[in-house]
Structure formats: structure tokens, C-alpha cells
Amino acid sequence: MTSARKSVESRISSAGIAVGLAAVFALAALPGCRQSAAAGVVNPEPTKIVVALATAHQQNITRTAEVQGALFPREQTVISAEVEGAIVKVAADFGDSVAAGQVLMRINPREYQLRLDSADAALDQARARLQNSRAQYDRSVELHKAGLISAEQFDATEATMRVDQADAESAEKAAALARKKLDDTQIKAPFAGSVQKRMASLGEYVSVGEKLYELIATDPIKLDCAMPERYVAMARVGMPVSLTVDSRPGVIYTGVITRIAPALDEQTRTLKIEAEVKNPDGALKPGFFAHVAMNLGQVRALTVPRSAVLRYAGVARVFVVEGGLARTREVTTGAVIGDQIEITSGLSAGDRVVTTDVDRLADGTAVVAGKQS
């Protein structure tokens, strides 16, 4: 039994050694396997975004200044009575269109007609006396030359004629004044326009200076607006303007600048501009606010496609391509011209900007150019 047990123990010991050696070899082989597996892994390259590019370039654009303005009557006046009396006729009322010189109202003319008749009679008498004294003076000139009258008599005749001449001139002025007073009984429109307000009624007795009508002229209508300081150097009389009003959206009215203030407003740093806008149908009303675009003429400007500009939190940015990477640039934009936009700072002519997928880009994103415009 002893011999058999030893044989079994010997076999067990040999098997254990074999298992141990196998384990040692396996462990020895593991680093090599790991190294071999690690050597087979390749880091992937970052995916490049295919983008379209455009070149920032100079082009001629029409510079415009967009401002807010307001409409006012071209002319506005209050007509007052120049003579007193009772109103006997009302020929125009609130809202009526009137022509220059049209009679709007009539004050009782009878008293003023009588005054004129009296003044004309006095003028006729003064002219008759002057005619008589002038004839006597002409005769005295001949008699004085012939030595038939004394110098004193000649001087008296001449003095009488001069007095009568002064009386005639005074009578002419009195008659002219009476004629004017009679004419003032007709209240006339000083210009073509519309009645904004009537302030006296038929039968009412009015005094000198009492208000009768408020009259406005609105064709053309006057536009007041303020030009920003940066555009002041371009302002000139005759410059065209266009405007729209909220009451007629989509309808564009045109006019020209007629007056420019000599100095800027110190508070707003703007220059007051007046323009006249044709208004034959009266659609533009005094008091309307207007959205105004002033044509400042042709200038050279740097532009890029509008699709190249990304706006976020009030900041405008574009992406330029440098060495296969998208690099962000903060820019300042100006006028929009169709599908182009003006860049006033942040770019130079010749810079290539990304025009597609700009919302997918960040500074340093790898890109590859597709088509270029």
C-alpha cells in the first residue's frame, strides 16, 4: 500500500507542476497580447464639415439713412377779422378745400360801402379844386412873366395850388383806405388749402382781430426728420427721400429735401431736415409719423452674402477659413443690399467667409471648401 500511495502522490505532484508552468507561460504571454492589441487601434481623424465659401469684396451701393419723421402742413395760418361787423355769409366750412383768393366768409359791407362812397365824393371835390387852382397857377405864370401881377400874387396862387394838391392826395389815400375796408369785409383764403377749423357763425358780430378760420395747405406736405450725425456731410438740398406711413402700409411716397438746419441739435446730435412730399389726394395727413429713407448717393462698400453673418446676443460674427479651420471674426454690419450685407469693420477685401452651416461651426472647427462664390 505504501508503494501504491507514493505512486499516486508522484502523479499528483507532476500534474501540479505542469499546471503551474502553464500558468506562468500564460502570464508571460499577456503583455505581448496587450501590446499587440493596442498596436492595432488607430485614432480616427475629426470629421470635416463641407462648407461653401465667398470672398468679401468691394462694390458700389446706394447709401441710405433710415430715420423717423413727422408730417406737418406746408402752410398753416389763422385768419382773423380786419373789420368789425355782423357775419352775413359763410361760404366755407370745416374740411372744405379752398382755392387761393376764394371768399370764405362775408361781413356786412353796407357801412363800409357808405364810407367808400363818402371818400370817393370827397376825392372828386379835392380833384376839382386842384384842377381849378392848377389852371389859375398856369395863368399866373404867364402874367408874372409879362409883369402884370406882383410876386406876392404869384406866390399866393402857387401856394393855393400846392395846398389843393396835398388835399387831393390825402383824399386819394382816404378813398383807398375806405376801399380796403370794404374789401376786408370779404374773408379770403390767402393760399390754396383746406379749412381745419371755423371759429365764427352766421349772424355773429365780430371785432377786429377776432379769429375766424384756421387754414392749412397739405399739397405738397412738409416732412420734418432728423439726420444722424454720421450722415451730415452727405446732406444737401434736393436730395431725394422716400417714406411710408402706418395708415397705408406698402405705399411709398417720394419727395425732396428743401431745407437743412445750420447746426446740429446738441442733445440728440442730429441735424433737422425738411422735405416736401407730393400729396395730391390728401392721403398724407399732418400729424402722421413717417418711416423715412434718405438716398445719400453711391459709395464703395465691403460686402459679403447675408448668409455668412451669424448673430447671437446682439453680436454679429462671420467665419473665415485659415489653414483648413473656421476662425470666428466679430464684425460690424451696415446696409443690406439684396442678398448682400455691408461690413463696416472686422473684415478686409479678399477674406474668404463661410456661407453655409455657420450655425454648426465653432472657432477652430475643421472645414473643407465646397463650392465658392
**Per-residue confidence of the chain (373 residues) as pLDDT tens digits?**
444 444 444 444 444 444 444 443 444 444 444 444 444 445 556 678 999 999 999 999 887 888 999 999 999 999 999 999 999 999 999 999 999 999 999 999 999 999 999 999 999 999 999 999 999 999 999 898 888 889 999 899 999 999 999 999 999 999 999 999 999 999 999 999 999 999 999 999 999 999 999 999 999 999 999 998 888 888 899 999 999 999 999 899 999 999 999 999 989 999 999 999 999 999 999 999 999 998 887 888 999 999 999 998 889 999 999 989 999 999 999 888 889 999 999 999 999 999 999 999 999 999 998 866 6
Neighbours of 327 (CB within 10 A): 16
Architecture of domain 109-184: Orthogonal Bundle (1.10)
Taking a C-beta distance cutoff of 8 angstroms, is the pair 202, 89 a contact?
yes
Say what the pLDDT of residue 34 is: 43
Q: Distance between CA atoms of 96 and 216, rounded to whole angstroms?
A: 11
d(CA 20, CA 22): 5
Domain parsing of the chain, residue ranges? 51-61+300-372, 65-74+218-298, 82-108+185-217, 109-184
- Specify the pLDDT at position 46: 64
Chosen CATH of 51-61+300-372 out of 2.40.420.20, 3.10.620.30, 3.40.50.720, 1.10.3720.10: 2.40.420.20
CATH of domain 65-74+218-298: 2.40.30.170
**Is there a common fold for 65-74+218-298 and 109-184?**
no
Give this prediction's pTM. 0.65
CB burial class (10 A; 0-12, 13-18, 19+) of residue 148? exposed
CATH class of 82-108+185-217: mainly beta
**How many angstroms separate the CA atoms of 347 and 146, rounded?**
106
Q: What are the backbone angles phi and psi of residue 264, rounded to the nearest 5°?
A: -75, 155
Angstrom distance (rounded) from CA 141 to CA 155:
10
| Helix, strand, coil share (%) of the chain residues, nearest 5 | 30, 40, 30
